Structure 1
Amino acid sequence: MRVVIARCSVDYQGALQAHLPLATRLLMVKADGSVLIHSDGGSYKPLNWMAPPCTMAELEPDDLERQEGVQSIWLVRHGKREDTLRIRLHDVLSDTSHDLGVDPGLVKDGVESQLQALLAEHVQTLGLGWTLLRREYHTAIGPVDLLCRDRDGRTVAVEIKRRGEIDGVEQLTRYLELLNRDPHLAPVAGVFAAQVIKPQAKVLATDRGIRCVTLDYEALRGLDDAESRLF
């Protein structure tokens, strides 16, 4: 990645035309060919950019541009469209390049698979005397996250989401309809578990006799003992 801090102006031509007047900005040229222009504000979004496939050439300014103080010009062309970025650099304050290597990608903490594994390990979070029968209990329409047995010996299907919405309740409803056809499992109750459950989903679940449980991810990981807190 090449990172340049410079006083520059930028002209974009394509489906529309845009101009950034002379100012100090951050220019990024990535290994995939993309070019991004950032200011020291506006959060993460660049002021302008060119996404790959594209090519960049560094040109010499003409006499008039030199008189205006332009030191060099970046001309970025898109590979499939007529879009161009013309970046006129006046004063280059910093110009560095770094090999970042291959990025492993974003690893999300608290995704549904992690919640499922934690809840399976601590199934008594759902109730004293509960036991886990199976994770990913397969059905003809997909796997039920957890199949459990409560303290009274009843079968319970648990659907786990990060955000509990109506679609999740509908999904659990379909599982329950199918599971309750199996005389070895019926009657099967349902638990809809999520870190956050939307009010509409909670109303629908309650109407269908499904219990809602809000999961405390940090507590499941053993990082937050709710019983030892003052507030």
Structure 2
Amino acid sequence: MRLVIARCSVDYEGRLKAHLPLATRLLLVKADGSVLVHSDGGSYKPLNWMSPPATLRVLDQDLDDGLVEQWVVQSSKTDDRLIVSLHEKLHESSHELGTDPGLIKDGVEADLQRLLAAQIETLGEGYSLIRREYFTAIGPVDILARDAQGGTVAIELKRRGDIDGVEQLTRYLELLNRDPLLAPVRGIFAAQQIKPQARVLANDRGIDCVTLDYDALRGVDDSTSRLF
């Protein structure tokens, strides 16, 4: 990856036109051919960019007064061009980053399912696990369990619980309650966050809502020792 901090102006030409006036910016040239123009704000989103595949030509002769370089980034698929006019370079460096292993997400629904299944009594004393990913004709129920009275409980897990999740659990309950070996089956909608509309709908349908503390399930946060 090549990093350049420079006073520059930027023009995009093609299906649309855009102009960035002269200012100090960070220019990123990646190994995949993409070129991104960043400011010191705006979080992760670049001000302008050219996606790969693209070719970069650096012009350093016969330029207008005040320019030290001009980059012409040409898309390999369209006639679009990104033209970066550099008036002053403040920093330049190149770094070999190597192959990235990719993002490993923590706290996804599969993690919640695994942790809650292993600590099923989080839902109440006397709960026991029947199985994870209980198969039905319309998809797998995240967790099927029994409560302290021996009743069957279907648990739908979400990171952020909304109305769609309640509707999904409703469909599972309608199907599971046709099985005489399982019926009656009640539902629990469990999530790290549950939207108010989803909670209202769940309560209206007789479905319990449980807010899960992911850190507590992982054993890295003892909720009983907190002041707040």
Shorter-chain TM-score range: over 0.9
Secondary structure class of the residue paired with 2:140: strand
Counterpart-to-counterpart distance in 1, 2:61 and 2:194? 59
Cα displacement string for residues 3-27 of structure 1 (whole angstroms, at most 9, x for unaligned residues): 1111222121122222222222110
Supply the AA of the counterpart residue of 1:15. R
1:161 aligns with 2:154: no
Counterpart-to-counterpart distance in 1, 2:148 and 2:15? 65
1:22 aligns with 2:19: no
Match of 2:189 in 1: 192
Cα displacement string for residues 167-188 of structure 1 (whole angstroms, at most 9, x for unaligned residues): 1111111111111111111111
Supply the AA of the counterpart residue of 1:31. A
Match of 1:3 in 2: 3
Match of 1:49 in 2: 49
Structure 1 length-normalised TM: 0.95
1:139 aligns with 2:144: no
Counterpart-to-counterpart distance in 1, 2:227 and 2:195? 28
By how many angstroms is 1:100 displaced? 1.2
Supply the AA of the counterpart residue of 1:42. G
Structure 2 length-normalised TM: 0.96
1:211 aligns with 2:208: yes
Secondary structure class of the residue paired with 2:198: helix
Counterpart-to-counterpart distance in 1, 2:19 and 2:136? 57
Q: Could you tell me whether the CA contact under 8 Å between 1:61 and 1:73 is conserved in 2?
A: no
Supply the AA of the counterpart residue of 1:2. R
Cα displacement string for residues 162-205 of structure 1 (whole angstroms, at most 9, x for unaligned residues): 01111111111111111111111111111000011111111111
Counterpart-to-counterpart distance in 2, 1:200 and 1:22? 48
Counterpart-to-counterpart distance in 2, 1:126 and 1:23? 57
By how many angstroms is 1:69 displaced? 2.1
Supply the AA of the counterpart residue of 1:9. S
Secondary structure class of the residue paired with 1:218: helix
By how many angstroms is 1:37 displaced? 0.7
By how many angstroms is 1:209 displaced? 0.8
Moved segments of 4+, more than 4 Å:
none
Q: Structure 2 matches for 1:51-90, cutoff 5 A?
A: 51-62=51-62, 65=64, 68-90=65-87
